[in-house]
Chains A and B, each alone.
Chain A
Amino acid sequence: GQQVMQIPQYQHVQEGEDFTTYCNSSTTLSNIQWYKQRPGGHPVFLIQLVKSGEVKKQKRLTFQFGEAKKNSSLHITATQTTDVGTYFCAGFDLDSNYQLIWGAGTKLIIKP
């Protein structure tokens, strides 16, 4: 079935270091969305990428959508304690009109 693989599962960084999470889909996606879930919280929509090769920035966060629309990445520059949480990618398969296919998430942990 359709799958979105997300790696790594966890990433420990020192505050100030960069963080990257990657998503790969087994099928071509019509778009990809990114969500952040704080510990004990709920997923919060961050951004959506639609176009092949698209790059979007939100302050220290950079989101990319691959040329083939099968992979995506989120990069955080100079992490801060407020970045702690789990980052999920989720995409719409070309054949699915409504069901987001979710990655398993990458948990960002800031080392004290």
Chain B
Amino acid sequence: DAGVIQSPRHEVTEMGQEVTLRCKPISGHNSLFWYRQTMMRGLELLIYFNNNVPIDDSGMPEDRFSAKMPNASFSTLKIQPSEPRDSAVYFCASSRSGDPPSSGFFRHVGYTFGSGTRLTVV
């Protein structure tokens, strides 16, 4: 298994530009998470998909951020327009779960993280 695959590994862009981060989850995993990690705020959950459907996007900072999961093997996180404060490492993670909200199975599976995208907005 190739694990969770993210691209690009590094992205440097100018303020105001559109940035698209990509993620391929592990085959068979039906839950996908986008996280952002900074020194100041640690790991923050941005959005959670289950069976390709966005379940909770309350962590998305503002309207400049959007995420899609058109199929079980691909997700994107887009920032438009980007700002310097968006600079961070963005992780995608996947796991197997039952359908929310009632499946206890979900709680008993570790997440597999991708290698992350280090975004720098100048």
Residue numbers of A with Cβ under 8 A of B are 30-31, 33, 35, 41-45, 48, 50, 88, 92, 97-100, 102, 104-105
Of the 9-residue stretches B11-19, B66-74, B75-83, B108-116, which lies at the interface with chain A? B108-116
Q: How far is the CA of A45 from the CA of B33 in the complex (A)?
A: 15
Q: Chain B's interface: helix, strand, loop or mixed, by majority?
A: mixed
Instruction: Tell whether, in the assembled complex, residue B97 and residue A98 are in contact, meaning their CB atoms are under 8 Å apart.
Output: yes
Residue numbers of B with Cβ under 8 A of A are 31, 42-43, 45, 48, 50, 55-56, 91, 93, 97, 100-104, 106-116
Residues from chain B with Cβ under 8 Å of A97 in the complex: 100-103, 106-107
Residues from chain B with Cβ under 8 Å of A42 in the complex: 91, 113-116
Instruction: Tell whether, in the assembled complex, residue A30 and residue B107 are in contact, meaning their CB atoms are under 8 Å apart.
Output: yes
Residues from chain B with Cβ under 8 Å of A102 in the complex: 42-43
Residues from chain B with Cβ under 8 Å of A99 in the complex: 45, 48, 56
Residues from chain B with Cβ under 8 Å of A41 in the complex: 115
Q: In the complex, what's the smallest C-beta–C-beta distance from A32 to chain B, in angstroms?
A: 10
Q: In the complex, what's the smallest C-beta–C-beta distance from A58 to chain B, in angstroms?
A: 13
Please pick, from A30, A33, A44, the residue contacting B113 in the complex, using a CB distance under 8 A: A44
B114 nearest CB neighbor, chain A only: A42
Q: How far is the CA of A108 from the CA of B89 in the complex (A)?
A: 20
Please pick, from A30, A33, A98, the residue contacting B110 in the complex, using a CB distance under 8 A: A33
6 A-B pairs with the lowest CB-CB distances in the bound complex, closest first: A45-B110, A42-B113, A92-B107, A97-B101, A97-B100, A102-B43
**27 A–B pairs (Cβ distance < 8 Å), ordered by A:** A31-B107, A31-B108, A35-B111, A42-B91, A42-B113, A42-B114, A42-B116, A43-B43, A43-B91, A43-B93, A43-B111, A45-B111, A50-B108, A88-B43, A92-B107, A97-B103, A97-B107, A98-B31, A98-B48, A98-B50, A98-B55, A98-B97, A98-B101, A98-B106, A99-B56, A104-B42, A105-B42
